[in-house]
Structure formats: structure tokens, C-alpha cells
Structure 1
Amino acid sequence: MDPGRRPGSRSRMPNRIARRPEGGKMTKNRGPEFRQGDWVESVNALGKGLGDDGRSMISLDPNVVMAAAVENTGLSDFGDDDWFVEPLYALCKALELTLLGRVMARHEVQLLLQNRLRIEDTLKKNPHILDEPIENPIFVCGLGRSGTTVLHELLSEDPAHRVPQLWEMRHSVPPPETATYGSDARIGVADREIALLDKIDLDFSTMHINAGDKPNECIFLFGLQFLGDFFLGQYNVPSFIMATATKDLTPVYAYHKKVLQLLQWKHPGERWVLKCPAHLARLDFLFKVYPDARIVVTHRDPLRVMSSMSNLTTHLKAMRSEVPNAEGDMWAAAFGEKMLLDEYMALRDKLTDKADQIIDLRYQDLMKDALSTVRTIYTHWGLPFSDETQQRVRAYIDSHPQGQHGRHKYSFDDTGFDLAEERTKFAAYQERFDVPSEV
């Protein structure tokens, strides 16, 4: 694909929220409080001094970014599948950022493009990689804060399971190898990349813990196709939503599978265990590519987690933009939860032939007895739950008490919504999956 195939453009949006003061002081603006590193305002002031927030310094023209990726890698083939092109251009047009935000966005977009170039080059030189079998993968999905992360990490304790780590999804080539998997230099590279977030937002670690060698969401693989999910939680880009809202996502899952085949080529496992909340509403596309997939869905009171997810989203956007909209993020979280759960219920009614491949679990049961909940999954599909795996799961539980990294405080009261009205919206979901109310 030609990296210069379309011109890029950007739109200007007015600032709606004033910047926070220096010194890591706390202010409150239509939602969550922020404590930013003292240096952030100083960096962004450089862009303000130019009068364009750094647009003339850091280009996000997709043609420019694609050309830079080509120059950096010495490669030029982004693959025969050009599904990613339209959302890439839509994203770059929608971004409205501070100077620091532009640096972060440019890095993210260019890194994805460079990774894609290297993946395509590796597959071209080693076409047999696409013969790698992906059998009975397990996908964990559910609303944010419903236990998907802890369940994913508990399942990763089984030595038979292949779980994608952050570093290998961000820097996939050369493909990881078993002999050096735990010591690969790219782990440190990924650690340093994500460490910036904690330096920008001083409270971010209480909301989200990450590390280069930590099991992570396969949403990073969606980023290679520039699917909206990967960016919507980090950037204030409402116009970008429609770029992929009605598209057939089968090519996205097909590319997802290609990358898994590459990652397991020299470091295989018995089965993949993957996690991403967005799978919840896309099981039809997922099953087209992974017909023997096994789906684990976690369930929790949507009203309990609503403010937590909107708070996290607003923090992520505030790192990059001067136009975060806490009120809008709250409405988006409420709408998004309702849409995801309604679509999941509709898909369950539609995919009756896949009923045995889906298991529903409650957050309360996972928190009360994680070992028994994990055992339920193994029993449901007749998988061996070895003594070694049980010991490793127990060790994980003992070493990961809730709140060990600080508490992310959130409450339904923060939403400003009417409790009875919102409860009515989710009544059918809670009744169907026996989800207890927590507020």
C-alpha cells in the first residue's frame, strides 16, 4: 500500500476546560480531580508560545507519519488489507491535543505503523507462520471494573496458557522466543514507554497498573487496524467514532489472528487466553475468525462501575488534551455500557449454537472465592486444573490483595444521574444474569 495515498487534514476545536496549575496541585473541573507533574504545563507552554499547540512542530498528517514509519523501518508494505486506512485518516483528522499530547499521539500512531510494517515483512518472508494453529482460544470480556483483569491474570498462572504481554504486542518483531521471553530487552522498552503516564498523572497508578511483562488486553492488536476502541478511551475524538461504527469487523479479527500466529511461532502455548471488554458486543465477528473460541463473561452492577470507567477515561484524555469533557465522558460511559450489554444479550439470543462455548460469571463470586470461580471455568470445558496451576492461582491471590496500589475512589453519586431511572435501564440485564445491585 502506498503511504502517500490520501491527504490528511485537521479540525480545530475550542478549549472547554482550563489547564491545571503547576506544582501538582489539585483542581476540580466538571468531574475528577487531577494531580499532574509540575513539568507538564511547562512542556505544553512551548506549544502555546507558537500559537498552535505544537502543530507546526509535531505533524499528525497521516501521510507524514506513514512516510516516517517507512523511513525508520526501511520497509514499505503495510499489507494487502487496507482496512486500517480510513480509520487512520479519520483519527489523525479528529485529534485535538496539547504539545505533549501531540508527541504521545505521534509516537503511538507511528509505533503502530512501524509494527505493522515489520509484521507484514516477517509474514512475507515466513508465510508458513499463517499455518500456525490457533485452537480453542479463551476470550475474557465484560464491562470495565467487572473483574476481567484479575480473572485474566489468574488464568495466566496456568503454564499451558499463552497470554499476550504488553511488550510483544507493541513491539512484535522479531517474534518472541521461549528462551528469551522473560528477559527480552523490549520489556524494558515498553516499561519506559508507559512510565510516562505515571509521571504526567500522579494518581494514575491507583486506577490502572501496567508493566511491559504484564498480561494485557488484546485491544493493542486492534490498534494495528486503527479500530476506534484503542483510541476512544485515550483521546477526545468524537468524530472518529463513526469511522468504524458500522463497518464489518471480520478483517480486524482476521488481523488479530495473524498477529497471534506470529507471536506463538517461536513461543507457543497450549491455548491463548485473551481479554478485551469490546469482544462483548462483537462475538459474531469473533466466532467467524475463531469458530472454536471459548468466551468467559464477567458480570457486575453497571451502575457501580460507571463512574470508575468515565473517571479513568477523563484522566487519560486530560494527559493529552486541554479539552477533556468529564460530563461527556460520563454520558459516554453510561451509553456505552447500555449498548455493550444490550448487544451482548442480542448476540446470546442469536448465537444459540455457541451457547456451550460461553460461560457467565459474577464479579461477587470471583471476589468471594477466586479459586473456585477459576475452577468453574476449567470444569465447564473439561480442562485439566492441575495441582501446580491451583498452587500458582492461590499464590497470586495471596500476593495481590485489593487496593495494594492505592484506592481508586468512585461512586455512583459522581455521575449526577437518577439512580432509579438508570436502574430501570439495566433491569433486564441484571435479571437475566442474576447480577446483584451494589448501589
Structure 2
Amino acid sequence: MIIPAHAEVHLPLTVEGVLRTAEHHARLSDWGRDQSFLLGLERLVAAAEAFGPTPALRAAAHNWIVELLVMRLHMVQDENRHPEILAQQIEKPLVVLGLPRAGTTILYDLLSLDPDSRAPREWEIVRPWPAPEVESFGTDPRIGQLQDSYDSILAISPEMNDIHRLDATQPGECNSIMVHHFASPNFAALLAVPDYDEWLISLDRVPGRYPAHKRILQQLQWRGPKGHWVIKAPVHLLDLEGLLETYPDAQMVWTHRDPVLTMSSISSHIYALQKALGSGMEKADIGAAQWRNWRKALLAGTRTRTEIPAVEQAILDISNRDVIVDPVGTVERIYAHFDRPFSAEFAEGIRHFVRHHKGAARRGKHRHSLEEYDLNGEVIRRELDEYYQRFGHLCQTLDR
């Protein structure tokens, strides 16, 4: 940990307090030219105060925020000392889109198996400073530190592995990258701060979020392994135009699965996380928040494609069913669409992974229902009619 375990937690939480604490620990005070991160920081701190988390959660929130700020200070120092960091080119990133629980993770895993790819790993996303290096990439102590944290969660809530595996070396999501800009749904999922969640989803665009996202990838690419970037986050659906402005040659794959089948799964995932961390909200409240958020995301993504031809041209649509039934063929189709070379080595890597994944999937069953989270399938279909009209033919999945 960057912040000592015995670090004092100042009450109440204030923006000034966490900024000064971070400066004290880092012994640095240059926050860089772009300080748009303060917008999300202010909202997060205010939401944590308003919701009144438990003392343990308050301490966790404080230390997490300060740790993020300490890393930001050090990364600003890095770029001041090494201007070549900001010259790093992020070219033709392959971006996985789609609702959570709609096959995005399995597709992300498959695309990350390409020997010529570079997917950011959980441990380096969580702590991108010091910059990861090729020589120590597989033995970096941050791997064990993060895995210890994950194991603590699994000790409390072992069913988490039936929902989403927790492995420090697995490909990490852009939600965790956006944490560094204080503009990520992870805060609401882990800390149960509904005011922050409502603020974040109310924005059509978060100032500075995608430039900050690129800055993290530059940090990881600078001294780390090279390859074409593969990244993933359902939240990208909310601002496809902003993503393309920062990565104009991005190649995007949108996986589709019936939202009626995904919404309770998403809610169950959030509930399990909050249960493990002691930040639980009522199931009905979780369901309402997730439906609000992902309804907006699906409609925003659908409408942006209609309104902006460049976004439409950058996206390939696939069915979650195709990923499950024919993973090699589906990935090969993606590569052909974007004119990328597809090697025999890559194909065999996919086959090997799928054999292992199928065996692991039989170890547990993730059980959930719409009714459990006060959700209604008819309402979902009615309010997402615009999405179903265009993509309904891709939503016929193995669940039926």
C-alpha cells in the first residue's frame, strides 16, 4: 500500500483534507495542468459525507481516495521528468462494448490472448505508479498485494467467483482506469454512494475523462510490454463520441444479449460486491439504480451511432451467443472486419482458454431473478424499444 495502514482518517471527509494528506505522503504538490479530476473528487467526497458510511467504509474511502491522489502526484512528476511519456502513441485500440453480463468479459479475455495484443492487467491499472516494466512484469509485488485484497473479499463472499473472477493478473476494465479521474461507476458499486452515482450518470460527458484514460495507458505503455491495446468497459456506451475524439482510430466491438436477461445479473453482481465490503444497499434500490444507468447507456449508444457516422463506422456488432457457440470463428470475424492478422497461434490459444473456462464455469451457478431486484421484463422491453428495434435480432441467446 502507498498509504500506511495506520494513516489517520480525518473526519469529516473534505476535498482540502484529502489533497493535503496526499501531498504530505507524496512530498509533492504539482497536480498538473489538467485539474478536471477535481470535479469528480468533490462529488465523491460530498456523497460519502451525505450517505454517512460506516467508520470502516469511511476509512476505506479516505485511504482509497488519498492513494489515488498520491499516484496522480507521482505521475505528474513522471511526465515532467520524462516528456516521452506524453508522446506515447495509442494506436488502433480494440474496444469491447456492451452491457455488463452480456459476454463482454469473455470476449475481452479472448481478444487479450492474441500474442500481439496488450491488455492492461488489474494490478497495473489499480496502481499504475511506479510505471510497470517489462523485466519485472510477471513478478511485480503489486500483483500479490492486490491478490491478497481479492482473497479477503472472497473469504467473506466466496460466491463472488461464481459471478466474476477476482484475479490480479487478469485483463482489467476501463472502469478501474477511470477511477483515477474520480469518474467511475466503481465508486458507487464499492462504496454505495448513491448521490455520486446519480451525478455521474446525469452527465452526457465527463470533462477530461478520456484524456485521463489515455494518460493511464501511456503510463503503462511507457516501460511496459508493447502490443496493440485491447480495452473494455460497458460505460463507454455513454460517450462513444468522446472515446472516438481521444482515440480516432479506435475499433469497437459491441456484444449484444437481451437486457431482460442481464439486468438482474448486473444487480446481483453489485449486491454481492457490497455485501462483501459491508456497504450494502437494499436490493430494490440497487435494481432501480442499475436499470436507470444501463437504460441510459444503451439508448445513448444506440442514438450516438445514428447521429454520428464516424461512430457507426467504427463499430462491429456481434451476438453474445456467437461468442459462446463459436469463439474462434467470432474472433476471426472481428479480426477480418478490422483487417487485423489472425494467427494459428492465436486460434489455438483461444481453444485452450475455452476448454479451461468451460470447466471453471461448472464450479458454481450465479442465481438471480428480476423480481428479486424489483425489476420488470415488460417495462425493460417497452422502454428499450429503440434498442430492440435495431439490435433485437442479436439478442437471441443461449438463455432462451
Q: TM-score, normalised by structure 1?
A: 0.82
Matched to 1:82, the amino acid is Q
Aligned-residue offset at 1:347: 0.6
Q: Distance in 1 between matches of 2:383 and 2:311?
A: 27
Residue of structure 2 in register with 1:25 after alignment: none
**Maintained 8 Å contact 2:254/2:316:** yes
Residue of structure 1 in register with 2:19 after alignment: 66
Residue of structure 2 in register with 1:230 after alignment: 186
Matched to 1:274, the amino acid is I
Taking the TM superposition and a 5 Å limit, the aligned residue runs for 1:182-331 are 182-244=138-200, 245-246=202-203, 248-249=205-206, 251-321=208-278, 324-331=281-288
For 2:168, what is the secondary structure of its paired residue? coil
Matched to 1:169, the amino acid is I
Aligned-residue offset at 1:132: 1.0
Q: Distance in 2 between matches of 1:219 and 1:327?
A: 24
**Maintained 8 Å contact 1:87/1:227:** yes
Is 1:77 matched up with 2:30?
yes
Taking the TM superposition and a 5 Å limit, the aligned residue runs for 1:47-66 are 60-66=13-19
Residue of structure 2 in register with 1:93 after alignment: 46
Identity %: 30
Aligned-residue offset at 1:68: 2.3
Aligned-residue offset at 1:284: 0.7
Q: Distance in 1 between matches of 2:215 and 2:89?
A: 10
Question: Taking structure 1 as reference, are residues 214 and 405 closer, same or farther at Cα in structure 2, changes over 3 Å only?
Answer: farther
Matched to 1:78, the amino acid is W
Identify which range, 210-219 or 239-248, moves more after superposition: 239-248
Taking the TM superposition and a 5 Å limit, the aligned residue runs for 1:354-393 are 354-393=311-350
Taking the TM superposition and a 5 Å limit, the aligned residue runs for 1:115-134 are 115-134=71-90
Aligned-residue offset at 1:228: 4.0
For the pair shown, which has the larger CA radius of gyration, 1 or 2?
1
Matched to 2:380, the amino acid is E
Q: Distance in 2 between matches of 1:59 and 1:194?
A: 28
Matched to 1:407, the amino acid is K
Identify which range, 331-340 or 359-368, moves more after superposition: 331-340
For 2:187, what is the secondary structure of its paired residue? helix
Q: Distance in 1 between matches of 2:292 and 2:280?
A: 20
Identify which range, 216-225 or 65-74, moves more after superposition: 65-74
Matched to 2:213, the amino acid is H
Residue of structure 2 in register with 1:408 after alignment: 366
Unaligned 5+ runs, structure 2: 1-7
Q: Distance in 1 between matches of 2:312 and 2:377?
A: 33
**TM-superposition CA deviations, 1:344-368 (whole Å, max 9, x none):** 1101101213333211111111111
Residue of structure 1 in register with 2:3 after alignment: none
**Maintained 8 Å contact 1:299/1:360:** yes
Matched to 1:408, the amino acid is H
Q: Tell me which protein shows more helix as a share of its residues.
A: 2
Q: Distance in 2 between matches of 1:59 and 1:319?
A: 25
Q: Distance in 2 between matches of 1:413 and 1:248?
A: 32
Q: TM-score, normalised by structure 2?
A: 0.90
For 2:230, what is the secondary structure of its paired residue? strand
Q: Distance in 2 between matches of 1:162 and 1:78?
A: 29
Matched to 1:207, the amino acid is I
**TM-superposition CA deviations, 1:9-33 (whole Å, max 9, x none):** xxxxxxxxxxxxxxxxxxxxxxxxx
For 1:234, what is the secondary structure of its paired residue? helix
For 1:140, what is the secondary structure of its paired residue? strand
For 1:131, what is the secondary structure of its paired residue? coil
Residue of structure 1 in register with 2:383 after alignment: 425
For 2:208, what is the secondary structure of its paired residue? helix
Q: Distance in 2 between matches of 1:304 and 1:349?
A: 25
Unaligned 5+ runs, structure 1: 1-54
Q: Distance in 2 between matches of 1:260 and 1:207?
A: 27
**TM-superposition CA deviations, 1:156-205 (whole Å, max 9, x none):** 11111110001111221221111211111111111123322223324222
Question: Taking structure 1 as reference, are residues 420 and 112 closer, same or farther at Cα in structure 2, changes over 3 Å only?
Answer: same
Question: Taking structure 1 as reference, are residues 250 and 84 closer, same or farther at Cα in structure 2, changes over 3 Å only?
Answer: closer
**TM-superposition CA deviations, 1:127-152 (whole Å, max 9, x none):** 12111111101111110100111111
Residue of structure 1 in register with 2:303 after alignment: 346
For 1:361, what is the secondary structure of its paired residue? strand
**Maintained 8 Å contact 2:252/2:314:** yes
Question: Taking structure 1 as reference, are residues 353 and 369 closer, same or farther at Cα in structure 2, changes over 3 Å only?
Answer: same
Q: Distance in 2 between matches of 1:56 and 1:73?
A: 17
Q: Distance in 1 between matches of 2:33 and 2:362?
A: 46
Q: Distance in 2 between matches of 1:372 and 1:220?
A: 30
| Paired residues, number | 385
Aligned-residue offset at 1:209: 1.1
**Maintained 8 Å contact 2:10/2:17:** no
**Maintained 8 Å contact 2:255/2:320:** yes
For 1:282, what is the secondary structure of its paired residue? helix
- Cα RMSD of the aligned pairs, angstroms, is 2.1
Residue of structure 1 in register with 2:396 after alignment: 436
Q: Distance in 1 between matches of 2:302 and 2:279?
A: 37
Q: Distance in 2 between matches of 1:252 and 1:420?
A: 35
Question: Taking structure 1 as reference, are residues 90 and 392 closer, same or farther at Cα in structure 2, changes over 3 Å only?
Answer: same
**TM-superposition CA deviations, 1:212-247 (whole Å, max 9, x none):** 211110211211110142312223222223544336
Is 1:102 matched up with 2:58?
yes
Q: Distance in 2 between matches of 1:311 and 1:268?
A: 35
